[in-house]
Chain A
Amino acid sequence: SAVISQKPSRDICQRGTSLTIQCQVDSQVTMMFWYRQQPGQSLTLIATANQGSEATYESGFVIDKFPISRPNLTFSTLTVSNMSPEDSSIYLCSVVRGLNTEAFFGQGTRLTVV
């Protein structure tokens, strides 16, 4: 398993501002991912956080809006930039220790943009 700490757990933000979400894992992991869960919807992959290089974004997500850092094998951040009410969602960090193995998730960050 993996112990994943995600901060903050929730926040209410003004439109036009930015929020950085942190994801800390208890030990080194190969792969880290960021997902979004919009209200009443299932999870959608935003990007794969690559250690030491730029993140790989899924269709519909861009670096300017969701910059991601991954400075080492246990930590990553996701920034939601220039927020609008449409960005109100739960953002979840996920890790996988090895290829095609079990995925584990943090408790999520519930973001409300007003």
Chain B
Amino acid sequence: KQEVTQIPAALSVPEGENLVLNCSFTDSAIYNLQWFRQDPGKGLTSLLLIQSSQREQTSGRLNASLDKSSGRSTLYIAASQPGDSATYLCAATGGGNKLTFGTGTQLKVEL
């Protein structure tokens, strides 16, 4: 059974700082790894998807990497802004397009 863990559980940083969120998964037989953002009481917004054959994906200030063999993914956020404050979730896609979600990292970017 796939298990996905995210470290740290919570993070508070000053505006402008670069930061890294970590995601680890136990079963490397995944089809892709997806990063989401969730604002309080809201649904999920897809940020980046990395296929199993890829090493990284970039979108604006976000860069996600994937190392399938070691069961790890990282989300790098450059020049953080208060608007980046949210919970970030990673999810590993297994058979049948079923997602197994991590525990989430709650990010707060302070002025």
Contact = CB atoms under 8 A, between A and B. Distances in A.
Interface stretch (A72-80, A81-89, A101-109): A101-109
A113 interface: no
Label chain A's interface by main secondary structure. strand
Contact of A102 (B43, B49, B100, B101): B49
Given A92-B44, A110-B41, A103 B96 contact: no
B61 interface: no
Interface residues of A, number: 26
A103 B99 contact: yes
Given A45-B99, A100-B51, A106 B89 contact: no
Range of interface residues on chain B? 20 to 34
Nearest to A58: B98
A65 B49 CA distance: 33
Please classify the interface of chain B as helix (H, G, I), strand (E, B), loop, or mixed, using the class held by over half of its residues. Answer: strand
B43 A107 contact: yes
A100 B41 contact: no
A96 B42 contact: no
A107 B99 contact: no
A43 interface: yes
A103 B46 contact: yes
A105 B43 CA distance: 6
Given A31-B97, A45-B98, A100-B97, A106 B43 contact: yes
Interface of B: 31-32, 34, 36, 41-46, 49, 51, 89, 91, 93, 96-104
Interface of A: 6, 31, 33, 35, 42-45, 48, 56, 58, 90, 92, 94, 96, 99-108, 110
